[in-house]
Homo-oligomer: A and B are copies of this chain.
Amino acid sequence: MIIKELSDIQELNVTVANSTKTTVKWLITKEDGARYNATRHFKIQPGGQIGIHQHPEDHHIFVLQGHATFMDDKGNKKEVKPTDIIYIPPNEPHGIMNDGKEPFIFLCIIPYL
């Protein structure tokens, strides 16, 4: 059993997919022996975003704090709030925009394919 504190985990800038004002903490990864998936903790500051992108991995997302808008590549938009759950299937374009006034924080689980 491995137990970690969130504050001990390094916070990294996210620059992929034209992302801005976004950081990530990789909570559980291969380095912990996890072979099936990784659990990450993202924070998007107000006015920041993760640009629309896609990849073969799916996403399980759980909103911890704040509000934001999820987007696809067809102009569809949907607002989310704390405790909302989002599933992004493999290869589906997705992006997130923090148009709120507080940090938008969420967990995102991604498989090791």
Contacts and interface: CB of A to CB of B under 8 A. Distances in A.
A6 B85 contact: yes
Main secondary structure of the interface of A (DSSP, over half): strand
A92 B33 CA distance: 13
Interface residues of A, number: 38
B37 A85 contact: no
Interface in A70-113: 70, 72, 76, 78, 80, 83-89, 92, 94, 107, 109, 111
B62 A39 contact: yes
Nearest to A4: B85
Interface of A: 1-7, 9, 27-28, 32-37, 39, 58, 60, 62, 64, 70, 72, 76, 78, 80, 83-89, 92, 94, 107, 109, 111
